[in-house]
Structure 1
Amino acid sequence: MVEYASAPGGVEAPGGVEKTWTSGWMWKVSGSLLLLLALGSGAVLFTWFFSGRVENTNPSGQTRAQSGSDRTDLQETLSRISSGAKAAVHLEGSCDEEDGGGGGGGGGGQRLRWRADQGQAFDQGGFRLWNGSVVVPRSGLYFVYSQASFRVACGAGPAPVPLSHGVWRHSDSQGGGAPLMSAVRSACRGPAPADGRGWYDAVYLGGVFQLRRGDRLWTETNRPALLETDDGRTFFGAFAL
């Protein structure tokens, strides 16, 4: 016959073997359960947070605007940035038949016309081309520049040929138009070049000026028929400082 023995707080087992539930082992089980519960809760919170970030983030890592007010703030920021852009204009020259229009000097049946849609020409920040003149968008300091390139077929004698180029300004505050800057050079100062193409010379102008909103700038050239207008050789521009 098999005898069973019992111990206080224990469980009887065949052969007198006791399976004792000690307090230390119970604490280990409880701690493991608590750890698993904490890990599960952390995983749920991480998944929720990460999914929310993915929904609000574009591929570049920038947070997308989620509401109408956020989109409005972005538009206002972009508007402020664009309005603060420096005003600048660069024009390329071309020679057209004289048509009696304003803005450029006449001579030899041709006139110098400035174009904003040719070569490296551009305009930004409010500058605009009107009737051959550049209209200043706002009051301030500007660097104004221009270059006129000439090709002169010299005669047999060493008679100099004067070449003049200037920038003019019309301002209501000054009561009309006045020269802003100008220069004169002389071609044919010696024997004609051997290539038979004549003298090549250029007049460059540049300076800083205080201009007012609505001022108009234009150029005057004494011999537009002799101008070289290819490859950006004749240009006119200004930019805000």
Structure 2
Amino acid sequence: MTQSGQTEALIKEDTTEKTDHHYTLRRISSKAKAAIHLEGNYDDSKSVKDQLEWRNGQGQAFAQGGFQLVNNQIVIPQTGLYFIYSQASFRVSCSDADEEGAGKHLTPLSHRIWRYSDSIGNRASLMSAVRSACQDTAQEDSYRAGHGWYNAIYLGAVFQLNKGDRLWTETNQPSELETDEGKTFFGAFAL
């Protein structure tokens, strides 16, 4: 092959590579920030350990940039700053079938994000919140009529995390969770 033939072959190979869809996707993904967004699901008939199950690849859920969901935990891909967030949406029935007209009072609802890091050697609470449902209010009669009490606990903050750290949530009343798309979620993204 002549030198001009070699040059033409290299130009053709370079042009083909740059128009290849895989090349384009690799280029985009190399510039994309690491991020994960998970949707919550709870089915008391199938649930193991009575806990919320996080799902990837359904609805709006996704993972990119090395994030993984392993054993219901988010695994951090690289050391750095991350914004960690989660929301648990609850619907609690404030009427009690055992005693007519007697409602539940101050039902505690809690949601917490945990971290395990090899550098720490044990788990540590990153964020938590507690709310009281079925509070005695002027609207209590409508709650007792079975309409329920709705509220969401949202947690979000920035943390320095290490590669391999694992994050998970704990919710004390998973049977009271609303897990329709967009109501209960968990995620993180690199800053």
Match of 2:158 among 193, 196, 208: 208
Q: After superposition, what is the alpha-carbon deviation per residue over 1:101-133, rounded to whole angstroms, capped at 9, x for unaligned? A: xxxxxxxxx320000122111111111100000
- Aligned partner of 1:117 in structure 2 is 57
* Match status 1:159 vs 2:105: yes
Q: After superposition, what is the alpha-carbon deviation per residue over 1:202-231, rounded to whole angstroms, capped at 9, x for unaligned? A: 111000000111111100000101111013
**8 Å CA contact 1:193, 1:199 repeated in 2:** no
Match of 2:75 among 132, 135, 143: 135
- The 5-angstrom pairing of residues 164-183 of structure 1 reads 164-183=110-129
- Aligned partner of 1:223 in structure 2 is 173
SS at match of 1:174: coil
Does the C-alpha gap of structure 1 residues 214 and 192 become closer, same or farther in structure 2, counting only changes over 3 Å? farther
Give the whole-Å Cα distance in 2 for the aligned partners of 1:157 and 1:82: 53
Detail structure 1 runs of 4+ shifted over 4 Å in the superposition: 69-75, 77-81
- Aligned partner of 1:235 in structure 2 is 185
Bigger RCO (CA 8 Å, 6+ sep) = 2
Q: Whose strand proportion is higher, 1 or 2?
A: 2
Deviation of 1:85 after TM superposition, in Å, equals: 1.7
Letter matched to residue 163 of structure 1: L
- Aligned partner of 2:131 in structure 1 is 185
SS at match of 1:83: helix
SS at match of 1:66: helix
Deviation of 1:83 after TM superposition, in Å, equals: 2.4
**8 Å CA contact 1:192, 1:198 repeated in 2:** no
Give the whole-Å Cα distance in 2 for the aligned partners of 1:150 and 1:176: 30
* Match status 1:86 vs 2:33: yes
Give the whole-Å Cα distance in 2 for the aligned partners of 1:160 and 1:139: 41
| Greater C-alpha Rg | 1
- Structure 2 unaligned residues grouped into runs of 5+: 1-7, 96-101
Q: After superposition, what is the alpha-carbon deviation per residue over 1:83-112, rounded to whole angstroms, capped at 9, x for unaligned? A: 232000100000033324xxxxxxxxx320
Q: After superposition, what is the alpha-carbon deviation per residue over 1:147-202, rounded to whole angstroms, capped at 9, x for unaligned? A: 00111111324611000001000100111211110000000012153562311111
SS at match of 2:119: helix
Normalising by structure 1, report the TM-score: 0.63
SS at match of 1:193: helix
**8 Å CA contact 2:94, 2:146 repeated in 1:** no
Give the whole-Å Cα distance in 2 for the aligned partners of 1:238 and 1:192: 40
- Aligned partner of 1:99 in structure 2 is 48
- Aligned partner of 1:41 in structure 2 is none
Does the C-alpha gap of structure 1 residues 159 and 168 become closer, same or farther in structure 2, counting only changes over 3 Å? same
- Structure 1 unaligned residues grouped into runs of 5+: 1-55, 57-64, 101-109
Once the two structures are aligned, what percentage of the paired residues are identical? 59
Letter matched to residue 151 of structure 2: D
**8 Å CA contact 1:192, 1:199 repeated in 2:** no
Give the whole-Å Cα distance in 2 for the aligned partners of 1:161 and 1:192: 17
Deviation of 1:81 after TM superposition, in Å, equals: 4.9
